[in-house]
Amino acid sequence: MTELKNDRFLRALMGQPVDRTPVWMMRQAGRYLPEYRATRAKAGDFLSLCKNTPLACEVTLQPLERFPLDAAILFSDILTIPDALGLGLYFETGEGPKFKHTIRSAADVDALPKLNAEVDLDYVMNAVSTIRSALNGRVPLIGFSGSPWTLATYMVEGGSSKDFREAKKLMYGQPEVMHKLLDHLADAVTDYLNGQIRAGAQVVQIFDTWGGVLSTWAYEEFSLKYMRKIIAGLNLESEGRKVPVIVFTKNGGQWLESIADCGADAVGLDWTTDIGDARARVGDKVVLQGNMDPTMLYAPPARIREEVGDILRRFGHGTGHIFNLGHGITPDVDPAHAGAFIEAVVELSPQYHQN
């Protein structure tokens, strides 16, 4: 077991004292980096890049070469599970992910195979172990999955959606079918994340990207319930150390107290929730992750620095904060502006961690 040279992120997730606020970015390995675009061109397309272990490792490490980040995140996609379940994932330029097959009936759900993540998604496990080895203890590695509800929306809609009409039609019209699908996906996600932990992931995050499109009761019933089930089924100890869990529901700030009760160690916040209010609501029950608006990275570096300072001030003194964007970094951001963001966290946060 390689000793971690920088465990600031893990210590903060445990609520332990740190010298400064740790920082990483959702989609930190991505299209805003010219070196990523070059590697993706070498791979041929996005899915080929995900399935090419050496290149997936290469792009995971690229942002760490540029910025003093406190974590690496596995380069993959949330839709690997539905693809492995036989739905036929493909990408169309300008239109995002699509599936050749959709789930619209009980028969469709019954036809889904049981996922064996270490066999059906062996390329992900290979990427995790390869990245972990290449990191050589530099920073912790985050593994991840989409939430059952978020995966289900893509599987029912056949791709991205603006109004989630088909997913909600199934949820409201045939709730028993949607529950059956979500239960199947919860089992798959549990197996997938446990596989990543065995392969070397030191933290796992559940991306509930579309939980925020639900009403309060529907969020509890069709999203949060299944994330609770997943967390309860994870083997959260590896290499003699606890493996923390982060849950991120975009547009879920109104349900913060319920999310904080789901068993996760940290709750990700998007930019629509004030982080100071969030801390007042949950205290030290969970660590908070976030939550600068990603589009703030279009602003001049001085304005970015000001925003970072304001978020740090709103959270206040002490541990329990992981700095991140409120969603993934957008593709046309200038890497220098991402650098200004991370530099501001590194330079401005130590004052909030002094005894």
Active site residues: 27, 31, 40, 77, 154
Using CA atoms, how far apart are residues 145 and 80, in angstroms rounded to an integer?
A: 9
Angle in degrees, CA 204, 253, 27, rounded to 5: 40
- Among 67, 68, 183, 63, which residue's Cα sits nearest to residue 131? 63
Whether 39 and 53 have beta carbons less than 8 Å apart is answered as no
Question: Distances in Å between the alpha carbon of 56 and those of 43, 138, 266, 341?
Answer: 9, 17, 26, 25
Q: Cα separation of 117 and 123, whole Å?
A: 10
Q: Consult the annotation and say whether 77 binds a ligand.
A: yes
Q: Is 30 annotated as a binding residue?
A: yes
Q: Is 344 annotated as a binding residue?
A: no
Q: Is 31 annotated as a binding residue?
A: yes
Residue 190 DSSP one-character state? H
Gap between the Cα atoms of 71 and 345, Å rounded:
14
Give the strand pairing for 203-208 and 141-146: parallel
- Burial class (CB within 10 angstroms; exposed 0-12, middle 13-18, buried 19+) of 235: exposed
Other beta carbons less than 10 A from residue 54's beta carbon: 12
Task: Supply 255's token pair.
Answer: 């349900």
SS3 state at 145: strand
29 is in an annotated binding site: yes
Q: Is 196 annotated as a binding residue?
A: no
**Three-state DSSP class for 79?**
coil
241 marked among binding-site residues: no
Task: Match 């992931």 to its residue by tokens.
Answer: 201
Q: What is the DSSP string of 49-67?
A: HHH-HHHHHHHHHHHHHHS
| Spatial distance between the Cα atoms of 158 and 164, rounded to a whole number of angstroms | 10
154 labelled as ligand-binding? yes
φ and ψ of 333, to 5 deg: -75, 140
Pick from 113, 261, 127, 250: nearest CA to 185:
113
Give the 3-state secondary structure of residue 290. Answer: strand
Q: Annotated binding residue at 32?
A: no
- 99 has which bridge partners? 89
| Residue ranges of the binding site | 27-31, 77, 154, 209, 327
| Residue ranges of the binding site for substrate | 27-31, 77, 154, 209, 327
